[in-house]
Amino acid sequence: MQTITPVILCGGSGTRLWPRSRAVKPKPFLPLVGDYTLFEETLRRASDRALFAAPVIVTGRAHLPHVEEQLSFAPDATVIVEPAAKNTAAAIALAALRLPADQVMLVCPSDHYIGRPTAFVEAAQTAARLARGGWLVAFGIAATAPETGFGYIRRGDAIGVDSAESGGFQVDRFVEKPDLERAMQFLAEGTYAWNGGIFAFRAGDFLKELGAHRPAILAAVTEAVAKGVAEGHRFHPDAAAFASTESDSIDYAVMEKTTRSAVVPADMAWSDIGNWHALHDARPQDDLGNTIVGRAELIDCREVMVETDGPRVSVIGLEGVIVVVDGDEILVTSTAGVQKVGKLHGAAHQ
Amino acid sequence: MQTITPVILCGGSGTRLWPRSRAVKPKPFLPLVGDYTLFEETLRRASDRALFAAPVIVTGRAHLPHVEEQLSFAPDATVIVEPAAKNTAAAIALAALRLPADQVMLVCPSDHYIGRPTAFVEAAQTAARLARGGWLVAFGIAATAPETGFGYIRRGDAIGVDSAESGGFQVDRFVEKPDLERAMQFLAEGTYAWNGGIFAFRAGDFLKELGAHRPAILAAVTEAVAKGVAEGHRFHPDAAAFASTESDSIDYAVMEKTTRSAVVPADMAWSDIGNWHALHDARPQDDLGNTIVGRAELIDCREVMVETDGPRVSVIGLEGVIVVVDGDEILVTSTAGVQKVGKLHGAAHQ
C-alpha cells in the first residue's frame, strides 16, 4: 500500500495567543488543549506508519529546538531548516523537491486543533486517492459559523473515480476572507467550506504547477535544494539561493491557478485556535461554560476562561471573560476583545 | 486652648479587600489611596498639635509592628496593646481610663478614607465644643447613596450653646443597617446621616455612661488598666482581667443608651473603603472612569480598576471590572461581585 508523507509546516509565531504564545515559545509548541502540544498532536494524528510515511517538517532555525524536543510521535521525521521565512509556496516546494515525484504529500499546519483525528485520517485517505489521480486537493473544513477570518472554498461537481464517487469535488472557486454578510450567505448556501491550509498532492504535480504559474519560485528553491547540505535528520537548503525566493502562499501561487484543484470535505472538529476565545471553545467546558487550566476559583461565572501558570485566579460575577496569566504578564479580556490582543503593547513588542 | 486627644482604633483585619489586605498586612497599613497608608492619614489629619494632643492608639499585638513602623506623623503617640480583641466599647474604655476625666477624646477608626481633611478638622472642633458641654457626639457622615452596609443616625433638634447654633443636633435615633428600600427613604428624607464610627466625648462622660449601662465592662477594663504595665510609649493592660471583658460595640453599649447623644454633620468625602469598588471610587479616575495602580494597559475599557504589585495587567473591552494582583493571588471581579470577595476560599482561609 502506498503511504502518504505528512509535510508539517512550523512557521511564524503570531501574537493572537499572547501572553502564552510568545516569540520564545510559539503556539505550536504549547499544550493548549490536553496534554500534548498542537505540534505533537499534528504528528500523532499521522503516526500510523501503515498509512503515513515518516513526516517532513519544514521550520525555521528559531523553532528548531522546540521541534526536535517534541518528536516523540515521529522519531523518524526529517527536518528541513528554512534559512528564511518565505511563506508556504516555497516551504512546500522544499519538501516536494526532497521527495519522489509520485509520492503523495499531505501538507499540514502545525498549530491547528482537530477534535476528531479519525475523521482527519479518513479525509487524508480520500484526498490521497484523488492526489494519485493527479488532483491538487484542499481539505474543505465543514463551516460551523460565519467566520470572517478564514478563506472559503466553494465546491463544484463531484469527482468520479473508476465510475464510483471519490468523495471529492472539483473546486468551483477559492474565496478570500469575506465580510460577515457574505460569510453568512456562504454558510446558508451549504456549498462553501473553510480553507484550513491542509493540502494533498503528488510532489511532482505540485512542482509542475508551481513551475507553470510561479517559475521563479521553483527555480530559486530548486537551486537552494541542489546546493543544500544534509546533516543527520536535518536538511539545510542553501541560504543565498533561498534568500532570493519570492514569498507567496500556496493558495495564490498554485491552488487558485491550477485547473486540477479538488476539495475533500472534512468534518473533524477543527479549530485554528486563532485566539483565546477559539481556545476556550476547543476545551472541555463545565455546565456553565467555564474552562480552567491551573489554580482558579469561580463564583457566579459563565463562559469564563482561566489559564494560569502559577498564581491562583479568583473570578466573581463575570460572563464571557478570559483571564490568562503567564509569568509577568496578565491578560483580562472580553470574548470580543480577543481580536485586539495583538494591539497590546506587550504583544507587539515582545 | 484645650486640645483634643485622638484615640485611634486599629483592630480587625477583614477580608473584603483580599488579596491585598491579608492577615499579615491588613487594610489600615496599606497605601490604598495616595502615598500614605490609611493609618498614617488618620494620624496626619490630627497632626496639628495646636488642636490635637498626642494620639492614643489602641491595637492588638499582631498589628503592633505595623503601628510602630507608621508613626511618622505622630512620633509622640502612645500605644495601648490589647491582650485580646473585645470590640470598641472596651477598647475606648482602655483609652478613657488613661486620660484625665475632662479631656476630650476623638475616637477614630484607622481604616477609613477622608477626602477633605479640613472638613474633618472643622467637624472635630464642633464636636469637641459639644463634648465640653457634656454631650456624647457622633459624626454624622453626609449620606450620598442608599448604602445598606452602614448604620444611620437620624438627627433631632439643633443644640444651642450660649444662645448660638452649636452646629450639632440631638440624636433622634440610631438605626441599624437598613434594607435598600429603607435606605432610599432615609436618603430622600434628608435627616439621616451615616454612622462612621467617629465619636467625641470627655473621657469621664464616656466612662460614666459606660458604668451606667454596662457596669461589668467598666469594672473589667478598670481592673485591666489598674493592673497594667507601662513600657516606654506602650501600655499593656492586664491580660487576665481584660480576657473577662464582654465584647460589645460603643454603639450598643453607650451611644444608643445615653440621653446625651448628639450628632455633628460631617461632609468630608468619607469612605470606609469597605470593598474594592469603594476603593475604586475613592481614587482619582481618568476620563473613562478607570483607575490604575501599577503597570497596566487598557484598551476599550470603562470603569475598570487595576491594582498590581508586579506583573503587567492588560485589559481589553471590559466595563465595571476590578483586577487585583497581589503576589500569588489574582482577583478578577465585577463591581457587584466585590460583595462576595470574603466568600472566596483564598480570602476565607488566609
Q: What is the pLDDT of residues A315-338, one digit of tens each?
A: 999 999 999 999 999 999 999 999
A47 interfaces chain B, CB cutoff of 8 Å: no
Q: Which CATH architecture has domain B4-271?
A: Alpha-Beta Complex (3.90)
DSSP B146-195: --SSS-EEEEEEEEEETTEEEEEEEEEEEEPPP-HHHHHHHHHHS-EEEE
Record: contact B321-A321, CB cut-off 8 A? yes
* Reported pTM: 0.86
- B348 touching A, CB under 8 A? no
Q: For every one of its 350 residues, what pLDDT tens digit does chain B have, with 9 covering 90 and above?
A: 689 999 999 986 678 899 988 877 889 999 999 899 999 999 999 999 999 999 999 999 999 999 999 999 999 999 999 999 999 999 999 999 999 999 999 999 999 999 999 999 999 999 999 999 999 999 999 999 999 989 999 999 999 866 567 899 999 999 999 999 999 999 999 999 999 999 999 999 999 999 999 999 999 999 999 999 999 999 999 999 999 999 999 999 999 999 999 999 999 999 999 899 999 999 999 999 999 999 999 999 999 999 999 999 999 999 999 999 999 999 999 999 999 998 998 787 76
Convert the pLDDT of each residue in A298-320 to its tens digit.
999 999 999 999 999 999 999 99
Q: Do B312 and A341 touch (CB under 8 A)?
A: no
Chain A residues 274-313 with a CB less than 8 Å from chain B = 297, 299-300, 308, 310-313
B64 touching A (Cβ < 8 Å): no
| CA distance to partner chain A, nearest, from residue B329 (Å) | 5
Among candidate residues B157, B159, B192, B198, the one with its CA nearest the CA of residue B178:
B192
C-alpha cell at A280: 476556550
Which among B311, B315, B346 is the nearest to A297, CB-wise? B346
Nearest to A328 among B311, B329, B336 (CB): B311
Give the residue on B whose Cα is nearest the Cα of A316: B333
User: Where do the structural domains in chain B lie, given as residue ranges?
Assistant: 4-271, 282-348
> E strands of B267-338, at which residues?
270-271, 291-293, 296-299, 305-308, 312-316, 321-326, 329-334
CB–CB of A311 and B331 under 8 A? no
Q: Is A349 on the interface with B (CB under 8 A)?
A: no
Q: Which residues of B touch A316 (CB under 8 A)?
A: 331-334, 337-338, 340-341, 344
Q: Give me the residue label for grid cell 458604668.
A: B211
Nearest CA in chain B to A18: B314
Predicted interface score ipTM higher than 0.95: no
Query: Which residues fall within 8 angstroms of residue A215, CB to CB, at 6 or more apart?
Result: none
Q: Tell if the CB–CB gap between A316 and B328 is shorter than 8 Å.
A: no
